[in-house]
């Protein structure tokens, strides 16, 4: 049975992925910062006791990559979805940005995803599908930037895209597919109530992208509808 690993799974898109994969009878390993407080995930666990494993992981904690690797032990991971992410402080415009909140966002959105990928690569190698997806954002596209500002979040996702590109090249000979995914502007805590699409629309689109993509697509930056986004 396919094993899917999803980070940041207690709300928003992460929770949406968990529910959708469980509906497909896939085995889900997911992470949350606080198991006891993750009521919606615990409700999923009651419904699917054999198919869902909830692991505790905070990407801001030192050595979080080793924590995850220890929790996974030698389990194969067929599909790894690096979903956890943060927007950061509201002070993101010119003249407002400061270092501390920027470093925090870089740790969660950029550095931890690569360190985690390094530390669990043997689990992915043991998997059948060998696919890794990083939740990026269109606002990380340099070509698409016509609005300026949002220095912290934008730069974290632009740099993540560069990490994805290098990983796609470095892992190609292992047959591991690495893709950057834009979920759309989605009505979650991060996207806000005025966002254009629902969690369901975004997840349905991304699930179809995940099903259809393989090593021939490695190194692409894809929208939830499957279209390529310029870097």
Q: Which positions from 14 through 53 interact with ligand NAP, judged by CB under 6 A?
A: 14, 33
x/- mask, ligand NAP, residues 135-174, rule CB under 6 A, reads x-x-------------------------------------
Residues in the chain: 231
Backbone angles phi, psi at 24, to 5 degrees: -90, 10
Residue 67: which of 58, 75, 76 has the closest Cα?
58
Nearest-angstrom CA–CA distance, 184 and 197: 7
Q: Does 189 bind ligand NAP (CB under 6 A)?
A: yes
> Toward ligand NAP, which CB reaches closer, 37 or 175?
37
Supply the minimum distance, in Å, between the C-beta of residue 76 and ligand NAP: 23
- Spatial distance between the Cα atoms of 212 and 203, rounded to a whole number of angstroms: 14
- 33 or 165: CB nearest ligand NAP: 33
Nearer to ligand NAP, 40 or 165 (CB): 40
Beta strand extents in 7-137 (DSSP E only): 27-32, 52-56, 79-82, 131-135
Does residue number 60 form part of the binding site for ligand NAP (CB under 6 A)?
yes
Integer Rg of the chain from CA: 17
Query: Strand order in 177-182's β-sheet?
Result: 52-56, 27-32, 3-6, 79-82, 131-135, 177-182, 221-223
Q: What's the token pair of residue 126?
A: 């043991």
- Check residue 81 for interaction with ligand NAP (CB under 6 A): no
Least separation, in Å, of the C-beta of 142 and ligand NAP? 16
Interaction between residue 201 and ligand NAP (CB under 6 A): no
**Crossing angle of helices 112-119 and 151-170, rounded to 10°:** 20
Q: Is the Cβ of residue 35 or residue 97 nearer to ligand NAP in the bound state?
A: 35
Tell me the two tokens of residue 15: 């929770």
Range in contact with ligand NAP (rule: CB under 6 A) among 8-16, 90-98, 163-171, 208-216: 8-16
Q: Is 203 in the site for ligand NAP (CB under 6 A)?
A: no
End-to-end CA distance of the chain: 35
5, 13, 110, 124: which one binds ligand NAP (CB under 6 A): 13
Residue placing its CB nearer to ligand NAP in the complex, 175 or 200: 200
Q: Which residues make up the interface to ligand NAP (CB under 6 A)?
A: 8, 10-14, 33, 57-60, 83-86, 108, 135, 137, 182-183, 185-186, 188-191, 195
């Amino acid at each position: 049975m396919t094993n899917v690993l999803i980070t940041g799974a207690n709300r928003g898109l992460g929770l949406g992925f968990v529910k959708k994969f469980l509906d497909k009878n896939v085995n889900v390993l997911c992470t949350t910062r606080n198991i006891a407080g993750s009521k919606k995930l615990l409700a999923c666990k009651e419904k699917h006791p054999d198919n869902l494993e909830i692991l505790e992981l905070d990407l801001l904690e030192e050595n979080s990559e080793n924590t995850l690797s220890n929790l996974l032990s030698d389990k194969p991971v067929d599909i790894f979805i690096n979903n956890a992410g943060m927007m950061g402080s509201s002070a993101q415009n010119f003249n407002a940005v400061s270092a501390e909140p920027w470093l925090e966002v870089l740790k969660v959105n950029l550095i931890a995803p690569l360190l985690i990928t390094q530390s669990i690569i043997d689990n992915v190698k043991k998997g059948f599908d060998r696919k890794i997806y990083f939740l990026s954002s269109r606002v990380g596209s340099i070509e698409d930037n016509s609005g300026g500002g949002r220095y912290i979040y934008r730069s974290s996702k632009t740099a993540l895209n560069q990490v994805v590109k290098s990983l796609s090249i470095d892992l190609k000979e292992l047959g591991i597919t690495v893709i950057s995914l834009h979920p759309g502007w989605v009505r979650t805590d991060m996207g806000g109530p005025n966002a254009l699409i629902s969690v369901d629309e975004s997840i349905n689109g991304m699930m179809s992208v995940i099903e259809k993509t393989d090593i021939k697509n490695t190194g692409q930056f894809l929208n939830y509808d499957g279209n390529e986004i310029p870097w």
